[in-house]
Structure 1
Amino acid sequence: MYRKVFASKVFERKVVLITGGCAGIGRALAMRLAQAGARLVILDLQQAELDSLLQHLRDNLNCEAIGLCCDVADAAAVAQAVAQACERFGGIDVLINNAGITHRSTFAETELAVLQRVMAVNYFGAVHCTKAALPSLVARRGQIIVLSSLSGFAPLLYRSAYNASKHALHGLFETLRAELKGSGVNVMLVCPGFTATDLRKNALVGDGSMAQQPPLAIGKVASAQDVAESIYRGALRRRRLLVLSNVNWRARLLARFFPRLFERVLLPRLSGLKPGSSR
């Protein structure tokens, strides 16, 4: 009973900034942290969706929250949003770098602008938010939570920029964790497996247009709520790495130690290809 009561109080009145917070895992995290008593700052691109989410949080969960329309790829806009959050709530205790986009196209068929946009959102978005929030996080001995992916340690076909952005996140935040040692700030990298979100529905293709992707051809797809609950519990324990995938150990083992076998057996299935399919 003591542990449950203690756990329920950890995030009470804490200020949590979530990027990409209107849909998928970001929205599920907003709901879960609101239930835990956190005060929320939600960044997203769609003002109407922000307004709807804020109304829901206030009416149903009595949550104190603000929503700011912000493209995390814009460093100046992020700095302004973080400044607004700090002015409203006095600082930031937890930063959740969740915003992300994906694509599905071969590297040869992918225009440079698409590669740049994926990196701008997935990688530099996290850079911008972390740079802006870091002084407050250090002052409050807070947490940085970074949404990476299964592809952070095992590649997926036709997602070269997405894979690269997730590898870059690991390089950045593993270094930052070491540099922050002794500061009281925890850095947790989260690697979900296949999750039922809108990410695939809004995937870019090689020319920069959007196209809904076909259903995945592998295993069980997790719900955003289940992933959010696992992240919440990982944050309570201030974990360093959280791998949430029904194929994580096989993918990590084969990709690292048996790369040829991984490419032949597991890579096509992880990439959503059905047996006998080339694309």
Structure 2
Amino acid sequence: MQRFAGKVVVVTGAGSGIGEGTARRFAAEGAMVVLCGRTEAKLRRVAADLDAERTLVQPADVSERAQAEALIAATLARFGRLDVLVNNAGTVVTGPLLELEPEAWRRVMATDLDGVYFCTRAALPHLLEAKGSIVNVSSVSGTGGDWNMSAYNAAKGAVTNLTRSLAMELGEKGVRVNAVNPSFTLTDMTRDMAEDEALVAKFRERIPLGRPGEPADVADVIAFLASEDARFVTGVNLPVDGGLSASNGQPRQA
């Protein structure tokens, strides 16, 4: 299946986890892929397995406007067009609000929300020209609350509603905007969680499919939303959560 042959895709946070899985999925479907992240060594590791002629490594901190704009400029300079933007870069800080320092709050907002804004704003003229697509990586934490994750909940909640707003704004102009909302997914960011057997057992009990997600589980849905198979889909925040959001929150009963 080569749904993205001749298409150019930018993936932020592509050095590991969902971003890496997404970049690999698009590359496997024929896309020219721009790998963006803050750590060049991680991006180079991913790129080593991809076709060099169809891959661009572009280190950037998308929480900085100038670097987000440079990312899009480098994409156009190398490939001459842009068809898909995947806003995946993210970070999380946990703890009670009174223990959350303003610097930590701003760090989460800057990466998880400002980065989406800066990249989208820079990419939009080119996506409008290509009648392209944006896929944001939000979270189930963007549709409901978590204990001691107020900054992450606030940022992802904003991304969730920004997705809806942009879909309404851009639909008649030919650009679709959607988001995926993963639950607990096995990535570098969740390594500590994955090593806590008691916590993982709690997740398994709450997730109907009985396991945490894998990056490929999310990447496959991102590729679907970006493809022509989803040509009449926009403004969707699609749970990729093993059925977690099917629950009303009450505990399992015999």
TM over 0.5: yes
Q: 1:37 aligns with which of 17, 30, 47?
A: 30
Q: What TM-score do the two structures reach when normalised by structure 2?
A: 0.87
Q: 2:39 aligns with which of 42, 46, 55?
A: 46
In terms of mean alpha carbon deviation, does 76-85 or 226-235 score higher? 226-235
Partner residue, 1:243: 239
Size of the alignment, in residue pairs?
A: 237
3-state secondary structure, aligned to 1:222: coil
Shift of 1:213: 7.7
Q: Distance in 2 between matches of 1:76 and 1:50?
A: 20
Q: Distance in 2 between matches of 1:202 and 1:16?
A: 31
One-letter amino acid matched to 2:239: V
Q: Distance in 2 between matches of 1:63 and 1:193?
A: 34
Gaps of 5+ in 1: 1-7, 204-211, 255-261, 270-279
**Cα deviations by residue, 1:162-216 (Å, 9 ceiling, x for unpaired):** 000011112222111111121111111111111111112489xxxxxxxx98443
Quick one: structure 1 residues 174 and 213, their matched pair in 2 at CA, closer, same or farther if it must change by over 3 Å?
A: farther
Q: 2:203 aligns with which of 215, 218, 225?
A: 218
Q: How does 1:58-97 map to 2 (within 5 A)?
A: 58=51, 64-97=54-87
3-state secondary structure, aligned to 1:170: helix
2:5 is aligned with 1:12:
yes
Q: Distance in 2 between matches of 1:213 and 1:167?
A: 27
**Cα deviations by residue, 1:75-125 (Å, 9 ceiling, x for unpaired):** 011111211111111121000000001122111111111011000000000
Provide the alpha-carbon RMSD of the alignment.
2.0
Shift of 1:160: 0.3
One-letter amino acid matched to 1:14: K
One-letter amino acid matched to 1:178: M
Quick one: structure 1 residues 244 and 68, their matched pair in 2 at CA, closer, same or farther if it must change by over 3 Å?
A: same
2:183 is aligned with 1:190:
no
Q: Is the 8 A contact 2:138 2:181 kept in 1?
A: yes
Quick one: structure 1 residues 75 and 144, their matched pair in 2 at CA, closer, same or farther if it must change by over 3 Å?
A: same
One-letter amino acid matched to 2:203: I
Shift of 1:9: 3.4
Shift of 1:229: 1.5
Q: Distance in 1 between matches of 2:171 and 2:226?
A: 17
Gaps of 5+ in 2: 205-210
Partner residue, 1:136: 126
Q: Distance in 2 between matches of 1:233 and 1:111?
A: 38
Q: 2:116 aligns with which of 123, 126, 131?
A: 126
Q: What TM-score do the two structures reach when normalised by structure 1?
A: 0.80
Shift of 1:232: 1.8
One-letter amino acid matched to 2:112: N
Identity across the alignment (%) = 33
Q: Distance in 1 between matches of 2:53 and 2:85?
A: 17
Partner residue, 2:219: 228
3-state secondary structure, aligned to 1:136: helix
Shift of 1:227: 1.8
One-letter amino acid matched to 1:67: V
Q: Distance in 1 between matches of 2:65 and 2:195?
A: 30
3-state secondary structure, aligned to 1:195: coil
3-state secondary structure, aligned to 1:66: strand
